[in-house]
A and B are shown apart, each in its own frame.
Chain A
Amino acid sequence: MPLLSVSDLKTHYKSRDGVLRAVDGVDLVVERGETVGLVGESGCGKSTLGKTVLRLVDPTDGRIEFKGEDITVLDQRRLRNVRKSIQMIFQDPFASLNPRQTIGEILEAPLAVHKAGDRAKRRRIVGDIVAKVGLPADSINRYPHEFSGGQRQRIGIARALLLNPELIVCDEPVSALDLSIQAQILNLLVEMKKEFGLSYLFISHDLSVVRYFADRVMVMYLGRIVESADNATLWSDPRHPYTRALMEAVPDPARPRQAAPLGGDLPSPSDIPSGCRFHTRCPLATDLCRAEEPEFRSIAPGHQVACHFADTIN
């Protein structure tokens, strides 16, 4: 049984412009000990998908099974129990830390909510975790503003680890950090994964980070997964034109400059194009693509693509 299994998940918002289909039919599996990378550009629905998995946002339709239990039907009290096992790390740790609380208070709160031992025991747990994430011991008496961006993200990671979770949803955890700090945080996440046997759903717009960090990668476009493969396969044999364009668009010092691979902007998720949702920007689009939405199908074991021409693209 997979740790997390999401099927036909939809999260729609009602807005003035009609229905905004942020997540529009996603299937996703995270196995125990696995890191699944979820890449896509802003507005593709990847953050909404992450929040829906934790039920910070309620889904419109579909199932989210955590260790075989459908958590979409749980009431708030039982959900609280599940949330011990699924935690989240955010992009901007400063925005998610109360500026008037010390790090000690911030980290003790989840333990108190979940009634983890008496005060002394909670202090001990907090002290341990602070040391594990590489913060100085006196951090617990200090306030969030006294820390640098990288250290704040360490605090965010410490908070996520407190309740011994099994799955952590990381939403752009290194995007706000300087390059020299990014490596520190990525290395810490890998260490924590090994030490606590964690699984990650790792959401990022940065392909090079995902390439280093993920075991399996899913590419999302306008609310749907368009390609999914294990890490090595995706980079060596990408089959969706969008995946290819994303890879080409990343400026890489080891490559000569190329023309911008895609024109135009991401269409609005309130007005998703007919047929294949990528056809308005796809260099290979045909009449078939404009008329018919491609099925998300297997083209090789563990490699799925939603493109009519996935077999012939080259």
Chain B
Amino acid sequence: MKLKSLLLGTAIAAIGTASFAEDYVIGVMSAQSGYLAPYDGPAYAGFKFCMDEKMANGGLNGTTPVRLIVKDTRSDIAFGVQVVQEMLDDGAQFIVSSADADPTIAAAQITAADMVPTMTFAGTAPVLTQVGPHVFGSYPGDNQQGAVLAAYARDQGFEKAWLLTSPDSAYTLGGPRYFGEVFEANGGEVVGESTFSLNQPDFSAIVTNIQNAETAPDVIVTWAWEPDFPAFIRALRGAGVDTQVMGGDVLDTPTVRGLGEVVDGVVHTSGGFPEEGSDYAAFIKRFEEATGTTPDNNYYVNGCDIADMIEQAVAAAGTTDPAAVSAAMAEIENGKGTMSNFTFKGTDRMPLRDVVVARITGDGEKEFVLRQMADPETLPKP
């Protein structure tokens, strides 16, 4: 009797292990607290929603079931590294990392040994993929956004730009610098630059410097995020400066739009725009119906697109082997996405995608301005 029980138990365990081993294991770094939570949270919600849809249809490509390991990083890079190691120990074959360059770069150092593909939720600093051939962006890079925005600014007749940068992150430093590079290449001039610290208490000194600049700018460009951007724009408008302000995709949030008249006319880049009848609009409808939550920023849909990117890479690789999936991902050309299509082939693994330019209105809405893909030949180098 004991022998039968033992054999039965062993058989059940073996069957369990066999089905377990067939799962494609994806580790997800998702900050539930700290500065990354506002970005990782929506991105993970969109990713999970689309992954659940795929699972309901049999898994990736209808054949490969997925097991998610989701761990909180608390927006702490050191803790994030530990979390990635734990996920690798637990069998992760793909890592989706937090929505910023720095934690992604840290995670990629750990995943490099086994070439486990590592894709950021929404980090846009092009430098993040320089760690190795297994690291991928998912959102249009800062250089793409800066190039499209600079071309638009020149088309609108702006000639003198002032850059507001922060050396505290690759995003806040790089975005305006890429803009400036293309702006000058297109005949504009960068007449000044101010630097700020993340979470800087006060922007009035910077605003006073801009007010008293020898050459007054006709456009101010910043990739500052919340709460720095709201503080800056209120200080700027509060000092009576009505110069045009332009910024990166991080301004595409309900918080910024909710600032009222001080943000009326602010122009920013974005990864997508839910035009009526688009796949993006359909995604929003499905998500709302399923969860009761309205996706009010692009991180949701980009999370969904990451699920599509993984599915297409696994299909192209014909295997779930991490190195093969990395290689297949790097060769994707005009992959189908919901926010926009994506191309990794010929890039340094920051996908080439459409960049949208939008304008905020004083009543808390945004309006579509243009959609354009940056010319890879003239993109500023990281």
A, B in one complex: no
**What residues of chain A have their CB less than 8 Å away from a CB belonging to chain B?**
none
B→A interface (CB under 8 Å)? none
